[in-house]
Amino acid sequence: MSDVFGAPFVNCLIEATRSRANKNLMKTAADTIKVAIIEEPAVLREGLAFLVDSTGGLRCTGSFGSVEQALRRIGDDLPHVVLIDIGLPGISGI
């Protein structure tokens, strides 16, 4: 991920998200937006999942390395929103 965005940018983004998450009020489960992440590089996928889970009102329901993997494993906890890489091998995000 540091090759794409640079470590200082990523660290700044994580700190800003932590700060914002600490300021948000707790919301009920009904107010929570469920987000699934489909991204090939594991480090970026894990970082996005962290950011989603650290943001009040959002919850990561799963993070997957491919669309095929997501379709097999997404289960009953269907997301409201899917963040998907448009450059995936196999089934792409377009």
Q: What percent of the chain has pLDDT over 90?
A: 53
Of 65, 68, 69, 17, the C-alpha closest to 45 is 65
Instruction: Encode pLDDT of 13-55 as tens digits.
Output: 566 555 555 554 455 567 899 999 999 999 999 999 999 999 9
Rounded Cα–Cα distance for residues 53 and 57 (Å): 9
Range of 48's domain? 7-84
Q: Name, in order, each residue with C-beta under 8 angstroms of 32's C-beta and a sequence gap of 6 or more.
A: 57, 58, 59
Q: Does residue 30 belong to any structural domain of this protein?
A: yes
Q: Does residue 89 belong to any structural domain of this protein?
A: no
**Tally of domains within the chain:** 1
Q: Does residue 93 belong to any structural domain of this protein?
A: no
Range list of H helices, the chain:
7-23, 42-53, 67-73
Of 50, 46, 66, the C-alpha closest to 58 is 50
The CATH code of the domain that includes 61 is 3.40.50
